[in-house]
């Protein structure tokens, strides 16, 4: 079982604090940023960064749907970590300044992949697919905060 990783990033024309606060707003802005791959969105505890428990279903492919129950922590300034209680999946959002009035948002997801031939295909194709999904989230985030 190999670890699988997908990383996507974007420069956003808004300060890092605004971008981070928008990402951390699970009870308001976050749901609006999610593309059609996400469904059944529900904040179960908290709603603003650290201490939030949020649920959604992530449909990565036509046949693959993950039922995610995510615990949110903020281990360092500018970082949100979403750990899935239902799997080994961990998603880390990192927002840092990138020049005057700009920020860099990076999202990295890691999980323990399957073994055998299925694991080979997962490691080969899943990062690209998940990268496209999170690129859409970052595009929606940019559109939301660059108003």
pLDDT digit string (tens) for 18-77? 999 999 999 999 999 999 999 999 999 999 999 999 999 999 877 889 999 999 999 999
CB 107 within 8 A of CB 117: no
1 vs 73, more confident: 73
Mean pLDDT of 118-140: 82
β-partners of residue 97 are 103
Instruction: Show the DSSP H helices in the chain as ranges.
Output: 16-24, 29-33, 116-145
How many Å apart are CA 111 and CA 123, to the nearest integer? Answer: 10
Burial class (CB in 10 A: 0-12, 13-18, 19+), 115: exposed
Predicted confidence (pLDDT) per residue in 129-138, tens digit? 889 999 999 9
What is the per-residue pLDDT for 63? 81
Q: What are the DSSP E strand ranges found in the chain? A: 3-12, 38-45, 53-59, 65-73, 79-84, 90-97, 103-112
The model's confidence at residue 1, banded by pLDDT at 50, 70 and 90, is low
Copy the structure tokens of residue 145: 């905060």
User: pTM surpassing 0.85?
Assistant: yes
């Amino acid at each position: 079982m190999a670890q699988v990783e997908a990383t996507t990033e974007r420069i956003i024309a808004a300060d890092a604090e605004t971008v981070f606060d928008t990402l951390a707003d699970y009870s308001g802005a976050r749901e609006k940023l999610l593309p059609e791959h996400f469904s059944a969105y529900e904040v179960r505890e908290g709603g603003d960064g650290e201490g939030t428990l949020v649920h959604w279903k992530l449909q990565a492919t036509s046949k693959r749907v993950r039922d995610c129950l995510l615990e949110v922590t903020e281990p360092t300034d500018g970082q949100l970590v979403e750990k899935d209680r239902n799997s080994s999946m961990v998603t880390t959002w990192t927002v840092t300044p990138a020049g005057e009035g700009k920020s860099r948002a990076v999202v990295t997801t890691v999980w323990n992949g399957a073994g055998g031939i299925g694991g080979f295909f997962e490691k080969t194709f899943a990062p690209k697919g998940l990268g496209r999904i999170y690129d859409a989230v970052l595009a929606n985030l940019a559109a939301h905060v660059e108003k």
